Amino acid sequence: MHTPEFDFARNPEHVRRAIADLELPYPVVIDARHAIWKAYANRFWPAKHFVDARGKIRALHAGEGAYGESEQLLQALLCEQEGFDAELPPLMEALRPEDGPGAVCYRVAPELYCGYARGLLGNTGGPQPDRPHRYLDAGKHIEGVLYLGGDWMVSAEHAARHFGAQGPSRMTLSYMAADVNLVLHPPIAGGQGALRVALDGAPLSGEALSGAQAGEDVEGGVVTIERPRL
């Protein structure tokens, strides 16, 4: 079930493209108005609801992780069905090291929102809602808080470089984590967008680009934004 967190994720074409990219073999329900989300009293992305053959919800798991336990429960529910006698495969190995048994999860910077509805902006004076504004970054940053510099327009859901913006628009985050992910949308007027990535104030280059410091979307220190996605 796909329940969109942002407005652009309500577009069925975006969902169809994501299904194709991820090669999902099963049907996906688009719950654009959160009707199913509310019916299940859900509060989490992602969440797993385990339903038995009689339609009763037997368990719930919120968030990532517990993949082996989830598969074990699914197999147990399958075996409860009358006449079921198939031999089930062994549980899958963890796909990522952090999902394996005994993996240690250290404290990380929290999930952040760029819009004023749920976000926290560290600039003095906070956001100037729904209007173009030139933000000044004083250079003193609290970990886990976003700071804007240059021309931006902050809406309820996002921060955007607006029409007529002059000079670079910068977003700075002091964080503790192994990876940094950002939901990005190309210019609404069409064409591609470009995001230059810097680490500790310096552009990614040399060993940083060829090593673990640069994600697969970073090429030459730049992320090219062609469609809305993570």
Structure tokens at 108: 């990380």
Query: Which of 155-164, 179-188, 209-218 is predicted least confidently?
Result: 209-218
Query: Which of 11-20, 166-175, 210-219 is predicted least confidently?
Result: 210-219
CA angle 147–181–62, rounded 5-degree value:
110
As a whole number, mean pLDDT of residues 105-124 equals: 89
Whether 174 and 189 have beta carbons less than 8 Å apart is answered as: no
| pLDDT of 215 over the 90 cut | no
More confident residue, 103 or 61: 61
As a whole number, mean pLDDT of residues 214-219 equals: 83
Q: Which candidate, 133, 128, 126, 129, places its Cα nearest to that of 152?
A: 133
As a whole number, mean pLDDT of residues 16-25 equals: 93
What local confidence, expressed as pLDDT, does residue 207 receive?
58
| pLDDT of 208 over the 60 cut | no
The maximal CA–CA distance of the chain, rounded, in angstroms, is: 69
**CA 84/CA 14 separation, integer angstroms:** 38
Residue extents of the structural domains in the chain:
7-99, 132-225
What local confidence, expressed as pLDDT, does residue 197 receive?
87
Q: Which candidate, 147, 88, 80, places its Cα nearest to that of 112?
A: 147
Domain at 7-99, CATH class: alpha beta
As a whole number, mean pLDDT of residues 129-138 equals: 95
